[in-house]
A and B are shown apart, each in its own frame.
Chain A
Amino acid sequence: MPEDSVPLAAPAIAAVAEAAAPRREGRGRLLWTVLKYALLTLGALAMLLPFLDMVLGALRTPAERLARPPVYWPRDPQWGNFVRIYDQLPLLRWTANSLGVTLAITTLQCLTSAMAGYALAKFRFPGSLSIFRFAVGAQMFPFFIFLIPWFFILRYFPLAGGNDWTGTGGTGFLGSYAALVLPFAVSWYGIFLMRQFFLGVPDELLDAARIDGAGEFFIFFRIALPLVGSGLATLAIFVFLYHWNEVLWTLTVTRTAPDLQTLPVGIYLLRGPFEQEGTKSLQQAAVVVSILPVIIVFLLLQRYYVASVTSGSVKG
């Protein structure tokens, strides 16, 4: 795909171009190089040190925390804390919830974005431009305007969760996983992105299939979709990471449904049990453990993630 190869190839081209450029003054060049690396290093330290601080905090003993003056480097690292919290907190349940909900959202969003993006990219029909403009404009609507209405729409949804057809009598979708997934079934950004990718699929391929008598759905699933596979993958990873970390809506809906709580929400509600200074090492251990899976996944898939972040912005 031209769009996502540009960011990756460009630095290489730039390096070559720079090597071919006329030599600048030796002294000035050294200064720039030093500044460059100093800036990058300082920045990288600022990015990474807070994580290290958290890990160190997880390793302190209660005595070290309560000591005056406070101890920084743990002399008796409590590696056991990382294991101990699994007993104290339902981390596995939270993780399972996060996994289930995020996978469901990712699947739904990929499906709806692909279908809508395909329709908008490959068909000419009245209203397609308006719908596209709507999708672009909808991204400008900030999240908080939906917060209160979604709550009540899900609560009074007819024929759900014990509600009758007027939407009263039960609890609607609240208190079930549906409440966590449904409001995120469609992503306007996803539609925008998939349309972009589908535009790169040659029409001739699709027309040839039509001439051969294939049905439209067959064409979509068997021909068009595989061609944007990598694009879909980048969207999927982007959506997955974004919704794994979603807190506000999940918090609102699962406050009194602890069985449904996801990992970030569980961590957020951790304040209560860990108010005492001495127990805060466990709290820090819990936070570290909660972000580890995401970090590992991210490290493995970062090329795709980077591509997904950058592909939406630079116009090819």
Chain B
Amino acid sequence: MTRRLTGLLGACSALGLMASDAGAQEARTIQVATHYTEEQAAPLLACFDAYEAEHPGVTVEHQQTAYGDFLQTILTSRVGGTAPDIYNVYSVWVPQLAAAGVLEPPPADVAEFIAEGYSPATVGAATIGGQLWGIPTELSIYALVYNRKLLEEAGYSEPPKTWAELREIAQKITRTNDQGNIDVGGYAYGTSVAEGVHPFYAQMFAAGVPPFAEDGRSTNLTSPEAIQILSDQAALFADGITSNAIVVDNFASNAVAMQISANWNKQGWQEAFGDQFADTVGIAPIPTDGPGGTMLYSFLWAVDATSDAKEESWDLLRFLNTPREGGLSCTGEMMQGMGSLAGNSADLELMTANADEFDRAYVEEVTSGRAVTQPNIWQAAEADRILRGYIDQAWAGTMTAEEALTQADAEIQAVLDEQP
């Protein structure tokens, strides 16, 4: 009987040994973790197949995780020692990941490849403390997205240029149903951390005040401009112009007139609006009383420091980011499909040449210099979460904008003080 038990335990540990021994075999498996859906990553997956064909014995696997879970998945897997080989990470997470020793700095030839093929701005986004950490991929920019048809119905042919104009238009368009719930929203936010914090940052850039200081050791969240922005936002909630019920996801249902969103939503909107896309979706600079501007962030391809296939991983990454036969690179093709802009200069050139009105409006933000890179501060994800919590309170009216930002600043400052 004890024999049976020993047998059982033995089987269990044997299973464990077998399962984790798989990586040490002759054939190499490269695991690539991204937050893109299978649909979004289709061109990339096709490239994986092409790479496998050219390199027999190598298998490339795609691990997909929802964006909201992505950082946690990376960290958990790293702590648990089951990390993938390649990550496609948000640049803002890099300080935390780099400090924890998660990332492998690119070798000299890859660094050269990056310097040659990418604009200084994008390379800057992938550099922390003078060290380059990966190959920049998509450029995401925030702008005012509006539903042309809804605006026209309300009698507006032009998008708003100042917040006062935005408020006026939104108020006119917002409609409630019998129960008092907003049916069609003049303006919408979202429930996730990013959907609250990114538009806020974007508005701060537009007002000419970056959210964080250059050295990343303090914030500008208590500046008068920031307080004004938040109280304007809170006023929308207080006056019933928007509410938590109507969110950015509803834009695709013609239920939202305006919102501040990034360009990678394009694919979803194209699917939802079909051939009405160009007539319905309009892009404009973020309304502000300040000098104008917006937030830009990027992702980058990075390699895990504990990967046992580092050389192969960098090789695969070069393959994915080299422009093909006078066309886009693999990564570039994926970006184009999503409506994102590539970090690769050659890709960007090609994209701009073929850009439709939607793309051009976003590119304009970059080329005009209005778009400023979001700073890669210490424990950025935690800081964002803290900020969102206080933004919520201001929106709900349980705190004034000033109170909320003062407290957020205090908490975030405590986190920033922890950095070496």
Query: Is there a contact between chains A and B in the complex with CB atoms less than 8 Å apart?
Result: yes
Q: Which A residues have a C-beta under 8 Å from some C-beta of B?
A: 65-69, 88, 108, 111, 151, 155, 159-162, 170-179, 181-182, 217, 220-221, 252-253, 255-258, 269, 271-273, 275-278
Contacts of A176 in B (CB 8 A): 15-20
* A276 pairs with B84, CB closer than 8 A: no
CB pair B21–A162 under 8 Å, yes or no, is yes
Across the interface, name the chain B residue whose C-beta is closest to A215: B1
Shortest C-beta distance, A68 to chain B (Å), equals: 6
Contact with A along B1-36 (1 / 0, CB 8 A): 100010010001101111111001000000001010
Q: Is B250 an interface residue (CB 8 A)?
A: yes
With contacts A220-B1, A276-B252, A277-B253 known, is A161 near B271, CB below 8 A?
no
A284 to B204, alpha carbons, bound, how many Å?
Answer: 39
A interface: dominant SS:
helix
Of B73-81, B317-325, B401-409, the stretch lying at the interface with chain A is B73-81
Q: In the complex, A275→B65 CA distance in Å?
A: 13
Point out which of A175, A258, A269 has the most chain B C-beta atoms below 10 A from its C-beta: A175
- Closest Cβ of chain B to A214, distance in Å, is 13
Say yes or no: A160 contacts B80, CB within 8 Å: no
Question: Are B19 and A272 closer than 8 Å at their CB atoms?
Answer: no
Pick the most buried of B1, B67, B271: most chain A CB atoms within 10 A of its CB: B1
Known A-B contacts A176-B15, A272-B66; the reply to A277 vs B81 at CB < 8 A is: no
Total inter-chain residue pairs, C-beta < 8 Å:
127
Give, as a whole number of angstroms, the nearest-CB distance from A144 to chain B: 16
Complex contact A171–B13 (CB within 8 A): no
- A272 pairs with B64, CB closer than 8 A: yes
B38 surroundings in chain A (CB, below 8 A)? 88, 273
Q: Mark B32-48, 1 if CB is under 8 A from A, else 0.
A: 01010111000000000
A257 to B33, CA, bound (A): 11
Please state if A275 and B249 are interface contacts (CB–CB under 8 Å).
yes
B255 at interface by CB-CB < 8 Å? yes
In the bound complex, what is the Cα–Cα distance between A171 and B20 (angstroms)?
Answer: 7
Nearest residue in A to B38 (C-beta to C-beta)? A273
Determine the distance from Cα of A210 to Cα of B20 in the docked complex, in whole angstroms. 47
Q: What is the CB-to-nearest-CB distance from B36 to chain A, in angstroms, rounded to a whole number?
A: 9
Answer whether A171 and B82 are a contact pair too, CB < 8 Å, given A111-B5, A269-B69: yes
| A174-B80, A256-B77, A276-B268 known; A162 vs B20 contact (CB < 8 Å) | yes
Chain B residues closer than 8 Å to A272, beta-carbon distance: 35, 37, 64-69
B65 and A182 form a contact (CB under 8 A): no
Known: A160-B13, A174-B81, A276-B252. A269 touches B65 (CB 8 A): yes
Indicate the member of B18, B77, B254 with the most A CB atoms within 10 Å: B77
- Taken together as a complex, chains A and B put the C-alpha atoms of A159 and B271 apart, in Å, by 52
A/B interface sample: 6 pairs, CB < 8 A: A108-B8, A174-B20, A176-B16, A178-B15, A275-B249, A278-B272
Chain A residues, CB < 8 A from B66: 269, 271-273
Q: Is the CB of A69 within 8 A of B16?
A: no
CA separation between A169 and B68, bound complex, in Å? Answer: 31
Q: Are A172 and B64 in contact (CB under 8 A)?
A: no
Interface centre among A65, A171, A179, A271 (most CB of B within 10 A): A171
User: Besides A67-B253, A276-B252, 10 other CB < 8 A contacts?
Assistant: A88-B38, A161-B19, A161-B21, A162-B17, A170-B20, A172-B16, A256-B33, A256-B84, A272-B66, A275-B249
Q: Give the number of residues in B that approach A within 8 Å (Cβ atoms).
A: 47
Are B82 and A257 closer than 8 Å at their CB atoms?
yes
Q: B82 near A175 (CB under 8 angstroms)?
A: yes
Whether B17 contacts A69 by the Cβ 8 Å rule is no
Residue of A nearest to B70 (CB): A272
Q: Which residues of chain A are within 8 angstroms of B184 by Cβ–Cβ distance?
A: 68
| Contact (Cβ within 8 A) A68 B20 | no
Are B68 and A271 in contact, with the CB atoms below 8 A? Answer: yes
Q: Is the CB of A276 within 8 A of B80?
A: no
Report B62 CB to chain A, min CB distance, Å: 10
User: In the docked arrangement, what's the CA distance between A175 and B81, Å?
Assistant: 9
0/1 string, B252-277, CB within 8 A of A gives 1: 11110000000000001001100000
Task: Name the CB-closest residue of A to B83.
Answer: A256
Contacts of A217 on B, CB cut-off 8 Å? 1
| A252 pairs with B76, CB closer than 8 A | yes
Q: Which residue of A lies closest to B251 (CB)?
A: A277
Nearest-neighbour CB distance to chain B for A64, whole angstroms, equals 11
Q: Does B183 contact A (CB under 8 A)?
A: yes
- The CA-CA distance from A258 to B66 in the complex, in Å, is 13
What is the distance, in angstroms, from A95's C-beta to the closest C-beta of chain B?
A: 19
Give the residue among B15, B76, B81, B255 with the most A Cβ atoms within 10 A.
Answer: B81
Known A-B contacts A111-B5, A255-B72; the reply to A151 vs B65 at CB < 8 A is no
CB pair A256–B20 under 8 Å, yes or no, is no
The answer, among A67, A111, A160, A174, for a CB contact under 8 Å with B82, is: A174
Complex formed: what's the CA distance from A311 to B80 in Å?
Answer: 40
B136 to chain A, nearest CB (A): 23
Which of B1, B39, B82, B249 has a CB less than 8 Å from the CB of A221?
B1
Contact A160 B73 (CB under 8 A): no
Is residue B367 within 8 Å, beta carbon to beta carbon, of the partner chain? Answer: no
- Is A177's CB under 8 angstroms from B20's CB? no
Alpha-carbon distance A172/B20, docked complex (angstroms): 8
Determine which residue in A65, A69, A257 has the highest number of CB atoms from chain B within 10 A of its CB, and name it. Answer: A257
Contacts of A177 on B, CB cut-off 8 Å? 12, 15-16, 19
- B19 near A253 (CB under 8 angstroms)? no
Most buried by B among A67, A88, A174, A181: A174
Question: A66's contact among B33, B67, B80, B253, by CB below 8 Å, is which?
Answer: B253
Asked whether B81 lies within 8 Å of A171 as measured between CB atoms, the reply is: yes
User: Min CB distance, B188 to chain A, in Å?
Assistant: 13
What are the residues of chain A within 8 A of B84 when measuring CB–CB?
A: 256
A271 CA / B249 CA spacing, docked (Å): 13
B63 at the interface (CB under 8 A from A): yes
- Closest-by-CB residue of A relative to B254 is A68
Q: How distant is the Cα of A179 from the Cα of B255 in the complex, in angstroms?
A: 46
The answer to whether A151 and B183 touch (CB under 8 A), given A66-B272, A217-B1, A255-B65, is no
Q: List, in ascending order, chain A residues with CB within 8 A of B254's CB.
A: 66, 68
Alpha-carbon distance A271/B35, docked complex (angstroms):
11
A175 pairs with B271, CB closer than 8 A = no
User: Are A255 and B15 also in contact (CB < 8 A) when A66-B252, A172-B81 are?
Assistant: no
Partner of B20 from A111, A161, A182 at Cβ < 8 Å: A161
Query: Chain B nearest CB: distance from A266 CB in Å?
Result: 12
Q: Closest Cβ of chain B: how far from A178's Cβ, in Å?
A: 4
A69 vs B2: C-alpha distance when bound (angstroms): 66
Q: How far is the CA of A172 from the CA of B65 in the complex (A)?
A: 23
Q: How far is the CA of A178 from the CA of B18 in the complex (A)?
A: 11
